[in-house]
C-alpha cells in the first residue's frame, strides 16, 4: 500500500528542499542547490547526499529553525519528526494489505509497517521472493511510516534454515510487541504506536493453575501400566503436564519451562523408539 497521492506529493515537497539545503552546506553534489536540481540527480548521488544529511543531524534542526522554504507549521512538524528516523539493514518480511513489514536486521529487532511512495514496495522489490535484505531509512509521516525513497538491495539469497529462523523471529515479535505503525506524534515528538494498540483488550484467561496442578498430581500416580507402550505414553503425559505447570511460576518461568521441555523431548524419544521397535507403525 502507498501513501495517498497528495501525501506523496507533500513528502517530496518537503524532502527535496531539505536535501537541497543540506547540499548547500555539505557540497556533496556540485551545483545541485535547489530542490528541482536535486530531483534530477541519479539515485546514487541522492543516496550520497541523504547519507551525508543523516550524518549531520544538526542540519535538520537548523533547517527547521530557519524554515527557508516558509513551510506551514503543519508541514514543518512533519520535517521535524524526521529526527526520529530509523536507519540500517532491514529484512522485508511480508507484503500485507495495509503496509509492507520491515524487520530490523541488527541490534534489537523490531517490526515496522512501511508504506510505499510512488510505487508499491512489492513493485519496487521487483516481486522478488521474501525475505529480502535491504538498507533503508524509515521516516515518520504524520501517523504512518514511509521510507525515504531509497532502498539498497543486498544480493543475498537465504537458505531454508535462515528463512525459517527469520519467520520464527517475525512471528515472535508480531505476537509479543506487534508491528510498529507510527514513530512520531502529532506535534513531532517521538511516539510509537503498534498493531497491538488497535486490538481490543483480551479477556483474561481463567486461572487454570488448580486444574493443571490436579493433572500433575494425577499423572504422578499413573505408574503401573499393562504395557511398555502405556508406560511410555504416560511418561510423556507426566512430562507435558509438568511443563504446563512450569508456565505458571512467577520466577524463572522461561528457564524452568526450557528445563522441563528437555524432559518432554526425552519422553517423546523413548515413546517413538518403543513404537518403532515394536513395529506399531
User: How many domains does the chain fold into?
Assistant: 3
pLDDT by residue for the chain (281 residues), tens only, comes to 899 999 999 999 999 999 999 999 999 999 888 999 999 999 999 999 999 999 999 999 999 999 999 999 999 999 999 999 999 999 999 999 999 999 998 888 999 999 999 999 999 998 899 999 999 999 999 999 999 999 999 999 899 999 999 999 999 999 999 999 999 998 889 999 999 987 766 678 899 999 999 999 999 999 899 998 999 999 999 999 999 999 998 888 888 999 999 999 999 999 998 888 755 54
Residue 229: name the closest of 279, 276, 277, 274 by CA: 274
Q: How many CA atoms lie within 13 A of 96 on its CB side?
A: 16
Between the alpha carbon of residue 86 and those of residues 108, 180, 184, the distances in Å are 12, 12, 12
| Burial letters 33-61, b for 16+ CB under 10 A, else e | eebeebeebeeebbbebbebbbeeeebbe
Q: Judge if 28 and 66 occupy the same domain.
A: yes
DSSP 278: T
pTM confidence score: 0.73
d(CA 109, CA 134): 15
Residue 150: name the closest of 12, 259, 247 by CA: 12
pLDDT of residue 106: 83
pLDDT of residue 200: 65
Q: Judge if 228 and 192 occupy the same domain.
A: no
Q: Give domain status of residue 204, yes or no.
A: no
Contact between 1 and 95 (Cβ < 8 Å): no
Q: Give domain status of residue 151, yes or no.
A: yes
d(CA 186, CA 176): 26
Q: Judge if 130 and 102 occupy the same domain.
A: yes
d(CA 131, CA 166): 8
Q: Give domain status of residue 121, yes or no.
A: yes
Q: Judge if 127 and 72 occupy the same domain.
A: no
The residue out of 58, 82, 106 marking a domain boundary is 82
Residue 27, by phi and psi: left (phi above 0), alpha (psi -120 to 50) or beta?
Answer: left
Would strands 86-95 and 179-184 be described as parallel, antiparallel, or unpaired? unpaired
pLDDT of residue 281: 46
Q: Judge if 162 and 180 occupy the same domain.
A: yes
Dihedral of alpha carbons 249, 250, 254, 255, sign: negative
The residue out of 147, 176, 198 marking a domain boundary is 198
d(CA 123, CA 128): 9
The residue out of 168, 198, 228 marking a domain boundary is 198
DSSP string, 120-140: -HHHHTTTPPSPEEEEEEEEE
Q: Judge if 270 and 213 occupy the same domain.
A: yes
The residue range of the domain holding 44 is 5-82
Q: Judge if 95 and 75 occupy the same domain.
A: no
Q: Report which secondary-structure segment, H or E, holds 228.
A: helix 228-246
Amino acid at each position: 500500500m502507498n501513501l495517498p497521492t497528495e501525501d506523496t506529493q507533500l513528502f517530496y515537497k518537503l524532502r527535496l528542499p531539505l536535501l537541497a539545503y543540506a547540499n548547500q552546506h555539505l557540497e556533496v553534489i556540485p551545483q545541485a542547490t535547489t530542490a528541482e536540481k536535486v530531483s534530477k540527480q541519479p539515485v546514487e548521488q541522492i543516496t550520497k547526499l541523504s547519507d551525508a544529511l543523516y550524518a549531520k543531524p544538526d542540519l535538520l534542526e537548523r533547517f527547521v529553525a530557519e524554515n527557508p522554504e516558509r513551510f506551514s507549521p503543519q508541514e514543518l512538524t512533519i520535517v521535524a519528526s524526521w529526527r526520529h528516523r530509523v536507519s540500517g539493514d532491514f529484512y522485508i518480511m511480508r507484503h500485507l494489505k495495509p503496509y509492507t513489514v520491515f524487520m530490523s536486521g541488527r541490534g534489537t529487532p523490531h517490526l515496522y509497517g512501511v508504506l510505499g511512495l510512488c510505487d508499491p514496495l512489492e513493485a519496487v522489490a521487483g516481486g522478488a521472493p521474501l525475505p529480502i535484505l535491504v538498507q533503508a531509512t524509515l521516516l515518520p509521516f504524520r501517523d504512518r511510516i514511509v521510507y525515504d525513497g531509497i532502498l539498497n538491495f543486498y544480493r543475498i539469497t537465504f537458505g531454508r534454515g535462515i528463512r525459517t529462523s527469520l519467520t520464527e523471529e517475525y512471528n515472535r515479535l508480531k505476537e509479543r510487541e506487534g508491528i510498529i505503525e507510527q514513530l512520531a506524534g502529532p506535534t513531532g515528538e517521538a511516539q510509537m504506536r503498534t498493531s497491538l494498540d488497535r486490538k481490543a483488550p483480551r479477556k483474561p484467561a481463567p486461572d487454570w493453575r488448580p486444574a493443571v496442578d490436579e493433572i500433575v498430581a494425577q499423572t504422578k500416580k499413573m505408574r503401573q501400566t499393562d504395557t511398555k507402550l502405556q508406560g511410555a505414553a504416560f511418561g510423556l503425559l507426566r512430562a507435558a503436564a509438568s511443563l504446563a505447570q512450569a508456565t505458571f511460576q512467577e520466577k524463572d518461568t522461561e528457564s524452568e519451562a526450557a528445563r522441563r521441555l528437555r524432559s518432554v523431548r526425552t519422553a517423546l524419544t523413548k515413546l517413538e523408539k518403543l513404537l518403532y521397535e515394536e513395529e506399531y507403525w
